[in-house]
């Protein structure tokens, strides 16, 4: 089963939900005209469907391999990556001063969805490079930007993020990698694990961003600094020269994403890898958060992407798999399983949640653009507050749903989904890492309640709830049973989110344990309601278009039906989490450890 980008829904989400026209009007985004955006989307869709998607199965079966100290990617990957570089795809959202195209992050997010749907094992190299560029662009010196950004933006070089160590997973205060001053540079020694594309054969240099401690650094996260450690030293003319003292010691053997080399990286086996301090000493973790927040949005998009791929495959299988007669017909002839109500329920569950995820992910990307480019400072700050709130929601909710939807895809295939030949199992295996990396989803929920809600007492969340109330008023005057049903569900959802946010804000300072025990249900409730809000906006848009006889009637009707399905069957499940959210703290820690 290949992949076809869902361009109609992507365009709708870009324009009607994320507000592409308003983003394109921001200073610096003048080239993001409607014609240009359409051209980019069409060409990206062709490359994803015809180039990347056919390599997905190849990458899964062959995997990356370590041969004589060099990581080799699966057949076709290096040639495909060169095609990406030559096509300028790496440079889409970056600063034109360093060779970027200066397009909005909103457009880059939509394009990234296609890469990740078509071939997530390949798409990970693009994701990590994007984050590394962002970190250097924000915190590197002028000399570092000049030396590294043009080649990384073009894609001739790629970037990595080196945080995790065997004893330091999510707790980066435990980092032991050391950096010792050596003239204008530092000697870095230590080991990092789980490094995505830490080594490969697709680019002429790899720029590692590495967290390490100076000898006199204090304990804890404040003692960590950030260093650029290139695979190859740079010659005076900026080209790659002598090999640095950094190597891939081994590759992890993983459940999924086999094509993506997940490396154990050894720094300084022969005396110390040469590294260059980024910014100030001791501020490495705060700098790295620039990269991690960028990556967390991208990982959320990966959840959306793998869900879309699993849905397309499940739908194609359901249309072709003939089993049993139709329940609604006396005809004994067997029909395709797409006609069976429970299969249709699963497909509608998949599709409605995918459309909600796409709406929320694109909306979040648009808020990033506004936080960077809005001329008014207060408007920029408000957008940044919303970005801060949305990032943990998008990362956690979309990746959880990516797993659930990939699992539904296997279920629709029945026994055929459990065997590797159909490909449905690969989507489930690939999806499983998403709730884990770039901060587990429990950490995202902790961040949401302990930092984002506690920081402003829930005001940023209540601002979005106020927008739901305003939409409710518009829905109240719109005709039709569909919008009435959607409005009723959204009203209930907004009330539940409002009450739950008030509980979190009031309790977080008094009983942090109770709030943390219920933080995952709260995150799920919030994201489910926000998804319902954006689908309700979609329904109102298409209802008006139908009344004016505008647009594609079949597309408009489909959007309306999907929004109502979500409102009546998915949204109530999110609302129901309000009770478990409050109750979890009473018993989650009640059993002694030895009796668990």
d(CA 296, CA 399): 10
Residue 86 confidence (pLDDT): 96
Distances in whole angstroms, Cα of residue 10 to Cα of each of 24, 29, 287, 389: 16, 19, 32, 23
Distances in whole angstroms, Cα of residue 166 to Cα of each of 128, 177, 295: 21, 11, 21
Paired tokens of 5: 């980008």
3-state helix, strand, coil in the chain (%, to 5): 60, 15, 25
Domain boundaries, the chain: 455-587
How wide is the angle at C-alpha 377 spanned by C-alphas 375 and 383, nearest 5°?
90
Catalytic residue among 16, 308, 374, 438: 438
> For helices 77-86 and 53-62, what crossing angle results, to 10°?
140
| Letter string b/e over residues 347-364, b meaning 16 or more CB atoms within 10 A of that residue's CB | bbbbbbbbbbbbbbbbbb
DSSP secondary-structure letter at 414? G
Residue 272 confidence (pLDDT): 96
CA dihedral 413, 535, 450, 133 (to 10 degrees): 80
d(CA 210, CA 200): 18
For tokens 């997905």, name the residue. 56
Considering only CA atoms, which of 165, 164, 170, 282 is closest in space to residue 215? 282
pLDDT tens digits in sequence order for the chain, 596 residues long: 689 999 999 999 999 999 999 999 999 999 999 999 999 999 999 999 999 999 999 999 999 999 999 999 999 999 999 999 999 999 999 999 999 999 999 999 999 999 999 999 999 999 999 999 999 999 999 999 999 999 999 999 999 999 999 988 887 778 999 999 999 999 999 999 999 999 999 999 999 999 999 999 998 888 899 999 999 999 999 999 999 999 999 999 999 999 999 999 999 999 999 999 999 999 998 898 777 777 899 999 999 999 999 999 999 999 999 999 998 889 999 999 999 999 999 999 999 999 999 999 999 999 999 999 999 999 999 999 999 999 999 999 999 999 999 999 999 999 999 999 999 999 999 999 999 999 999 999 999 999 999 999 999 999 999 999 999 999 999 988 999 999 999 999 999 999 999 999 999 999 999 999 999 999 999 999 999 999 999 999 999 999 999 999 999 999 999 999 999 999 999 999 999 999 999 999 999 999 99
Task: For 199-248, write each residue's pLDDT tens digit.
Answer: 999 999 999 999 999 999 998 888 899 999 999 999 999 999 999 999 99
Alpha helix stretches (DSSP H) within 321-376: 341-373
Paired tokens of 147: 């030396």
Write down the number of H helices and E strands in the chain.
Answer: 21, 14
Residue 360 confidence (pLDDT): 98
Active-site residue flag, 86 = no
* Residue 251 β-bridge partners: 263
Q: Is 238 helix (H, G, I), strand (E, B) or coil?
A: coil
List, in order, residues 6 or more apart from 423 with CB less than 8 Å away. Answer: 1, 57, 313
List, in order, residues 6 or more apart from 158 with CB less than 8 Å away. Answer: 125, 128, 129, 132, 152, 197, 200, 202, 203, 205, 206, 207
Give the β-pairing of 334-336 and 157-162.
unpaired
Considering only CA atoms, which of 293, 427, 431 is closest in space to residue 372? 293
Number of neighbours of residue 319 by Cβ within 10 angstroms: 13
């Amino acid at each position: 089963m290949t992949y076809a980008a869902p361009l109609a829904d992507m365009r709708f989400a870009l324009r009607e939900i994320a507000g592409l026209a308003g983003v394109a009007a921001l200073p610096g985004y003048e080239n993001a005209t409607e014609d240009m955006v359409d051209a980019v989307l069409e060409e990206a869709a062709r490359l994803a469907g015809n180039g990347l998607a056919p390599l997905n199965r190849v990458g899964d079966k062959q995997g990356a391999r370590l041969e004589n100290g060099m990581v080799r990617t699966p057949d076709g990957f290096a040639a495909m990556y060169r095609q990406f570089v030559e096509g300028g795809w790496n440079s889409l959202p970056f600063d034109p001063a360093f060779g970027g195209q200066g397009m909005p992050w909103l457009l880059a997010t939509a394009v990234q969805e296609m890469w990740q749907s078509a071939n997530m094992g390949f798409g990970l190299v693009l994701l990590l490079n994007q984050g590394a560029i962002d970190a250097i662009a924000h915190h590197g010196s002028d000399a570092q930007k000049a030396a590294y950004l043009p080649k990384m933006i073009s894609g001739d070089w790629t970037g990595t993020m080196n945080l995790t160590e065997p004893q330091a997973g999510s707790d980066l205060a435990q980092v032991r990698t050391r950096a010792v001053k050596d003239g204008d540079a530092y000697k870095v020694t230590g080991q990092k694990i789980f490094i995505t594309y830490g080594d490969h054969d697709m680019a002429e240099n790899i720029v590692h961003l590495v967290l390490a401690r100076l000898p006199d650094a204090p304990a804890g996260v404040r003692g960590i600094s950030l260093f650029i450690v290139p695979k190859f030293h740079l010659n005076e003319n900026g080209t790659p020269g002598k090999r640095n003292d950094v190597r891939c010691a081994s590759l992890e053997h993983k459940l999924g994403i086999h094509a993506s080399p997940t490396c154990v990286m050894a720094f300084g086996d022969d005396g110390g890898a040469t590294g260059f301090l980024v910014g100030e000493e001791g501020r490495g973790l705060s700098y790295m958060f620039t990269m991690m927040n960028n990556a967390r949005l991208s990982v959320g998009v990966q959840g959306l992407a793998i869900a879309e791929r699993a849905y397309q495959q499940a739908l194609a299988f359901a249309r072709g798999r003939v089993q049993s007669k139709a329940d609604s017909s006396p005809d004994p002839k067997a029909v395709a399983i797409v006609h069976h109500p429970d299969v249709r329920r699963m497909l509608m569950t998949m599709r409605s949640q995918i459309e909600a995820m796409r709406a929320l992910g694109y909306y979040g990307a648009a808020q990033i653009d506004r936080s960077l480019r809005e001329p008014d400072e207060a408007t920029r700050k408000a957008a940044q507050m919303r970005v801060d709130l949305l990032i943990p929601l998008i990362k956690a909710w979309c990746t959880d749903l990516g797993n659930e939807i990939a699992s539904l895809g296997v279920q629709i295939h029945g026994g055929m989904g459990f065997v590797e030949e159909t490909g449905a199992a690969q989507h489930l295996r690939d999806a499983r890492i998403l709730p884990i990396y770039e901060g587990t989803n429990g950490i995202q929920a902790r961040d949401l309640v302990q930092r984002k809600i506690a920081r402003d007492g829930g005001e940023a969340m209540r601002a979005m709830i106020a927008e739901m109330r305003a939409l409710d008023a518009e829905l109240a005057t719109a005709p039709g049973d569909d919008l009435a049903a959607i409005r009723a569900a959204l009203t209930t959802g907004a009330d539940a989110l409002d009450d739950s946010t008030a509980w979190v804000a009031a309790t977080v300072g008094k009983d942090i344990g109770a709030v943390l025990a219920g933080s995952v249900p709260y995150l799920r409730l919030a994201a489910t309601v926000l998804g319902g809000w954006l689908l309700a906006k979609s329904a109102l848009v298409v209802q008006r278009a139908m009344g004016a006889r505008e647009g594609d009637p079949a597309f408009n009707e489909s959007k309306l039906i999907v929004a109502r399905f979500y409102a009546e069957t998915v949204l109530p499940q999110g609302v129901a989490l309000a009770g478990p959210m409050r109750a979890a703290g009473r018993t989650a820690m009640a059993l002694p450890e030895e009796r668990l």
